[in-house]
A and B are shown apart, each in its own frame.
Chain A
Amino acid sequence: MTNIELETGGSVWKLLVAEGDAVEEGQTLFILEVMKMEVPYEAPHAGTVAALHIAEGDSVAEDDLALVIQA
């Protein structure tokens, strides 16, 4: 289980996976918008999206748990 936590606050611009999806290492999971920059978050390893805590348009804060990947 790997928790993907947010390094900064911002808003969720694009969510590219759904709960239960299989993901590859390096696959872009979602993109935050922070100060007009798009900040992609990638899967650190292959697995399945076990839990999803964000939705497109959400305002999010630093250290928020975005999703969980089960290897």
Chain B
Amino acid sequence: MSWKPEVDEIKQRRAFALGQGGPEAVAKQHGQNRLTIRERVDQLLDPGSFEELGPVAGTPVYNEAGELVSYDPANFILGFGKVNGRRIIVGGEDFTMRGGSPSPAGLRKSVYAEDLAVQYKVPLIRLHEGSGGSVGGTSGQGPNLPGPVNAPSRFRSVAQAMATVPVATAAMGAVAGLPAGRLVASHFSVMSKSTAQIITAGPAVVERAMGEKKTKDELGGWKIHTKNGTVDNGADDESACVEEIKRFLSYMPDNVNQLAPVVECDDPTDRCEESLLEVVPRDRRVAFEMRKIIHAVFDHGSFFEMGKGYGRSQITGLARLNGQTVGVWGNDCKFLAGSMTADGAHKARRFMELCETFSFPIVTLVDEPGFMIGSQAEREATIRHGTSAVLTAAMTTVPWAAVMVRRSFGVAQAAHYGPETYVLAWPSAESGPLPVEGGVAVAFRRQIEAAPDPDAKRRELEEMLAAKQSPFPRAEALSVHDLIDPRETRPELCKWLARVQPLLPDLLGPSAFAIRP
């Protein structure tokens, strides 16, 4: 007798597993404009490239005769696949069963995702829609027995994954509890504006504990979480989230032991953009668009901004110079004058840690007036978060180039320069311990008070000191490597990158400090 009966049952179980939570649950998911996890995986991966792990993990249901009548598959889908030809690990909850709250096999598969990524050293992509544990336990019959004392820490592999491979996560629907924690334990996270909410606990738990009546969207919709840094980016819908993840991945190596992929570049390295000659207004009070400078300097269309909605005085993202990945960090003087806020500093720290983890050279476009001041800034512990960013910069080992576009003041400016930074200054550069406008009133207080017209005296002193902000002494004293025509910024940065690129292989491998969420 052959093994045909068992082989038939394997087939039957696989067929049951593909049914997910059943036709009604799938129709309900579609009715709310959301895809099922299998459809999401298909949307992400190259056609036919999914190699599923544990496809028949689940709970069988037998009739009285002991025959298999149905099957509850694990409500977490996991496997290998390819994105634009590159192997990755993908995983996500099946919301059509138990609202994505883990079943016994679902939990096992979900925590295996990070282990696999670390083991195989390939990027991890999570597509989340699910909640955490239930007081009913994974079985639904009551609390689970806690794991043994010698079980490995569940979060160790989550942290290890972030120090080893690129991790990108999307919130596709409601994400709560453990999945929400894993969502933010990523180098890049994105949420669907039309279908996702991210909540530590849902409306019912919140109302019971705090008497606060809020909908899921009010608690954790995109308007909350793209502005507080919970996620890096928001995207219109599920497919836009997938596109953002694919774009992010295009800049990333497979793991920390490899260099980032280099793409063919048809943008000449010696391109000089005429608009840069006048992009910074001569009137020091008039704001300008730092993003226009970024778009003009880096490879055409290569800037991928991360975290646009929060810490908005700082602009961070990935871009390419001559086809090679670099981290880009500029100030936005249109938002709080570009000053270093607590959330801007947090964003900057994560950005630097991302670059350090994956050995990306960093290019800063500096227009930093200093730490944000005032009572709100003091309440936000700006000096602690800001100093954290400054010391992170000081501890990095990747190559840095800084372009002093306009202001570079105070302790906060130090965050924009790593060790041995190659510094280029535009003629519009100003630097010092603090901007003239704030500093004059303090340093010349007695002189101003003694003057017949204190206001006029203050203005006179401000103008006198501002006039001394000539760019030339900086270059004479070799305080900068060179003073450049702003139009030459791209050619100069491309030349710099060609010089530092040979140093990058020595930086590969685990970083001295790992990225934290």
Chain A residues within 8 Å of B, Cβ to Cβ:
7-8, 34-40
Contacts and interface: CB of A to CB of B under 8 A. Distances in A.
21 contacts: A7-B334, A7-B335, A8-B312, A8-B334, A8-B335, A8-B336, A34-B336, A34-B337, A35-B336, A35-B337, A35-B339, A36-B337, A37-B285, A37-B286, A37-B333, A37-B337, A38-B286, A39-B287, A39-B334, A40-B286, A40-B287
B437 interface: yes
A69 B437 CA distance: 36
A3 B378 CA distance: 34
A28 to B, nearest CB: 10
Given A34-B335, A35-B339, A38-B287, 20 more contacts: A7-B334, A8-B312, A8-B334, A8-B335, A8-B336, A34-B287, A34-B334, A34-B336, A35-B336, A35-B337, A37-B285, A37-B286, A37-B287, A37-B333, A37-B337, A38-B283, A38-B285, A38-B286, A39-B287, A40-B287
Interface string B248-289: 000000000000000000000000000000000001011100
Contacts of B437: 36
Nearest to B227: A62
* Pairs A-B, 9 closest by C-beta atoms: A35-B337, A39-B287, A37-B287, A37-B337, A38-B286, A39-B334, A38-B285, A35-B336, A8-B335
A40 B286 CA distance: 8
A40 B334 CA distance: 9
B387 to A, nearest CB: 21
A17 B334 CA distance: 21
Contacts of A35: 336-337, 339
Nearest to B284: A37
Interface of B: 283, 285-287, 312, 333-337, 339, 437
Main secondary structure of the interface of B (DSSP, over half): loop
A34 B285 CA distance: 10
B157 to A, nearest CB: 40
Contacts, number: 31
A69 to B, nearest CB: 19
Contacts of A36: 285, 337, 437
Contacts of B286: 37-38, 40
A39 B312 CA distance: 15
B115 to A, nearest CB: 43
Nearest to B333: A37
Contacts of A34: 287, 334-337
A36 B339 CA distance: 12
B378 to A, nearest CB: 16
A8 B286 CA distance: 15
A36 B334 CA distance: 10
Contacts of A8: 312, 334-336
B193 to A, nearest CB: 16
A66 B45 CA distance: 44
A7 B227 CA distance: 12
Contacts of B335: 7-8, 34
A36 B333 CA distance: 10
A37 to B, nearest CB: 5
Nearest to B281: A38
A22 B333 CA distance: 29
A66 to B, nearest CB: 14
B469 to A, nearest CB: 16
A68 to B, nearest CB: 21
B408 to A, nearest CB: 16
Contacts of B285: 36-38
A36 B337 CA distance: 7
A7 B313 CA distance: 12
A40 to B, nearest CB: 7
A40 B333 CA distance: 12
Contacts of B336: 8, 34-35
Contacts of B334: 7-8, 34, 37, 39
A45 B497 CA distance: 38
Contacts of B287: 34, 37-40
A8 B332 CA distance: 12
A39 B335 CA distance: 9
Contacts of A37: 285-287, 333-334, 337
A39 to B, nearest CB: 4
A39 B287 CA distance: 5
Nearest to B336: A35
A16 B286 CA distance: 16
Contacts of B339: 35
Contacts of A7: 334-335
Contacts of B283: 38
Interface centre among B334, B335, B337 (most CB of A within 10 A): B334
Contacts of A40: 286-287
A34 B335 CA distance: 7
A36 to B, nearest CB: 6
Nearest to B437: A36
Contacts of B333: 37
Nearest to A33: B285
A5 to B, nearest CB: 14
